[in-house]
Amino acid sequence: MRGSGHGSRRKAKAAGVVLALAALTGGCTSIRDHRGYLIDQTLLDSVSPGIDNRQSVEKTLGRPTFVSQFGEKDYYYVSQVVKTPPFGRPRTAQETILRVRFDAAGNVLGVDKAGMEDVARISPDGDKTPTLGRHRGLLEDLFGNIGTVGAAGMGGPQQPQGPGPNGS
């Protein structure tokens, strides 16, 4: 009987360690968050080119995330899924952009859908932006203008050259 009690303690300790590790690693998972428009495919499919107009699109899909500023006033609906890792910055995991195109009369021409494959990724070059011109040090920046400020106007107002008002 003594051996069976000792074995159950080991199992209880092992189970406790497993539960503690599960609790610790559970805190290290990414947080998923949805931002923007919630896409409902049924509502999106109900928007028909040639039949719907701006008002019916707003009644069906709701107000757009933004309206284009140039050209035709197209509606854009933006939906994002963002993952935030522990101790990290949020990253966009999934993005969908719906574009509802209208003609000049305000009738729907079509609905376009774009995703992450159309996003351009850029990587900036380091933390400094190269500029044209002289490379000056700290002391030149601080004391570089001493003696040059007001040097052009040191003689006071300039007298006109040439003959004066009397012709002399």
* pLDDT on residue 57: 94
pTM attached to this predicted model: 0.56
Q: pLDDT digits over 103-112, tens only?
A: 989 999 999 9
pLDDT band at 71 (very low <50, low <70, confident <90, very high): confident
Q: Are 77 and 60 in contact (CB under 8 A)?
A: no
Cα–Cα distance measured from residue 112 to residue 8, given in angstroms and rounded to the nearest whole number: 63
pLDDT band at 155 (very low <50, low <70, confident <90, very high): low
pLDDT band at 146 (very low <50, low <70, confident <90, very high): confident
Percent of the chain with pLDDT over 70: 76
* pLDDT on residue 101: 94
